[in-house]
Structure 1
């Protein structure tokens, strides 16, 4: 193959098609548990986190709900993934051997948000959220009916493999996926490029500027107890009974059970089987959807 502007453009177009097809073929799960926010600067601040609202009977003037504001900031990070193509393979017209690499590049790019988001969820026992506490903690500060600070827990304790109950029915999700620059397929294949000159290598890659951060801890509950019907029931009760500032019920719904692959069987037994081992009806059948994540 003659290496010129036309053949390089044709190769880039072909590689990009393979990349895009693979990217489109991946079903990413991150948007089920994370609110996607388009960023316009190096970092974004979320002052609304920690606020809550509620309707009241309108008697007299409106009551402005100026609750405590938390300036929680998520900084964007740059990520890249790059493939090198030997110039000899161009000349010998054997570019087909690189098809799997560009397909994998597309798959990696499509899965990267889930890696970040579910990895963040798993780190919630040591990562801090907007109120300064660990995302999963036993003493999140909340104001009671009298305006006094009290502690609320969204962690069920234990030392085993973690599993999670989430409310994903709202516009605001438990986590945030922040996107400054989307995943972009780029190239360095000009004759004057350093790598071409010194290593006879054309480079193609994907880069982006994104990050994941903690959203509302009230919409998430974690436990390291065994995933049994009793522990699942206790987690649902604790989560759905959560109240916001001034004792206002939050109306949280435990709609999604998130587990690693090692707990898939237990999750199915708890929320999908029709009857308990004793023969009694499983009252929690279909009480939540199940999401099994390999990234936990």
Structure 2
């Protein structure tokens, strides 16, 4: 194939089509645990995540709840994936293997938001959330039924494989954030006078995007490294449910999903699906939450 403008356009279109097929072959899963926020800047401020009191009887003037000017910023990051195609392979029409490579590239690009977002759960035992404390922590600021500040824990200590309880019932609020600034795009440098072609004899095709993932509402998630058994599971459910707003009203947080990796999959299935427990009694936890087994968790 001679590198004429017409042939290059056909080559670009073919590789782009393969790239798109790779993207479309992936069904992302990060939306299960993360709310998607469209970003219009280099970074976004998440000070609005601070607790708001509930509705109040309108007696006297309105009570205005202002957004907090806290330093809870999530900065977008640029990402890229690039493939070089040997010019001689193009001229000799040896392009079949590259079509597969570009489909694979599309798949890798489409899976990256999952890799980025799910990995936050493991990191949440040490990395800080928007309140400046580890996302899973023993002393988040919470509130009691009297509206006074108190310590609230969404952490269960241990040394085993992590598992998580989450309230994923809310349409707009999720434990994590996926912040999207620019969706993946396919770009290329293929002109014979491009430096990469002229000096290196390579046609360059790449994908680029801008986004990031971060911690959202720790109030909707409970993280544990203890054994996944009935007692620890129930302790997590109680912890999530025992939350109140700054006016003392219940947050009404309920664990809807148990999230585990493959190492805890059998224990989770037994806990949520078995009719009877190990002692032969009725399994009272059967069906109490939905099970998510993620390949991105240990």
TM-score w.r.t. length of structure 2: 0.94
Q: Indicate whether 1:9 and 2:9 are aligned.
A: yes
Partner of 1:140: 140
Q: d(CA) in 2 for partners of 1:50 and 1:4?
A: 59
1:260 aligned residue: 261
Alpha-carbon displacement from aligned partner over 1:85-113 (angstroms, at most 9, x marks no partner) = 11111111111111221111111111111
Q: Deviations over 1:103-141 (max 9, x none)?
A: 111111111111111111210011111211110000112
Change in CA separation of 1:116 and 1:206 when aligned onto 2, cut-off 3 Å:
same
- Counterpart of 1:41 in structure 2 is 41
User: Residues 68 and 180 (structure 1 numbering): CA distance in 2 closer, same or farther, change over 3 Å?
Assistant: closer
Contact 2:265-2:293 within 8 A present in 1 as well: yes
Alignment-derived partner of residue 224 in structure 1: 225
Shift of 1:52: 2.1
Cα drift, residue 6 of structure 1: 1.1
Number of matched pairs: 296
Please provide the CA RMSD for this pair. Answer: 1.7
CA distance, structure 2, for counterparts of residue 279 and residue 144 of structure 1: 38
Shift of 1:145: 5.2
Q: In 1, are the aligned partners of 2:188 and 2:205 still within 8 Å (CA)? A: yes
2:199 pairs with 1:179: no
Structure 1 residues 146 and 281: alpha-carbon distance in aligned structure 2, compared to 1, 3 A threshold: closer
1:128-167 mapped onto 2 (5 Å cutoff): 128-144=128-144, 148-167=148-167
SS at match of 1:247: coil
Matches of 2:91 and 2:175 in 1, distance apart?
52
1:53-82, CA deviations, whole angstroms, 9 ceiling, x for partnerless residues?
A: 412333344333448553410001111111
Aligned counterparts, 1:162-241, within 5 A: 162-170=162-170, 171-241=172-242
> For 1:93-132, what aligned pairs fall within 5 Å after superposition?
93-132=93-132
Residue 150 of structure 1: CA displacement? 1.9
User: How far does residue 285 in structure 1 lie from its aligned partner after superposition?
Assistant: 1.7
Contact 2:48 2:68 in 1 (8 A): no
Q: In the alignment, is the contact (CA less than 8 A) between 2:147 and 2:244 conserved in 1?
A: no
Aligned CA distance change for structure 1 residues 21 and 188 (closer, same or farther; 3 Å)? same
Q: CA deviation at 1:147?
A: 5.7
Q: For the structure 1 residues 53 and 285, does the alpha-carbon distance in structure 2 shift closer, same or farther, using more than 3 Å as the test? A: same
Distance 2:288 2:69 in 1: 34
Distance (whole Å) between structure 2 residues aligned to residue 148 and residue 252 of structure 1: 19
What stretches of structure 1 of length at least 5 have no aligned partner? none
TM-score (norm: length of structure 1): 0.94
Q: How far apart, CA to CA, are the structure 2 residues paired with 1:220 and 1:117?
A: 14
Q: The residue matched to 1:110 in structure 2 has which SS?
A: helix
Q: Any idea what SS the aligned residue of 2:49 has?
A: coil
Deviates more, 1:120-129 or 1:237-246: 237-246
**Per-residue CA distance 1:169-208 (angstroms, 9 max, x = gap):** 1111111001111111111111121111111111111111
Q: Please say if residues 52 and 67 of structure 1, whose CA atoms lie closer than 8 Å, have aligned partners that are also in contact.
A: no
Task: Give the superposition deviation at 1:255.
Answer: 1.1
8 Å contact kept, 1:51–1:69: no
Pairing 1:9-88 to 2, within 5 Å after superposition: 9-66=9-66, 70-88=70-88
The residue number in structure 2 matching 1:272 is 273
Quote the Cα distance in structure 2 between the aligned partners of 1:69 and 1:247.
23
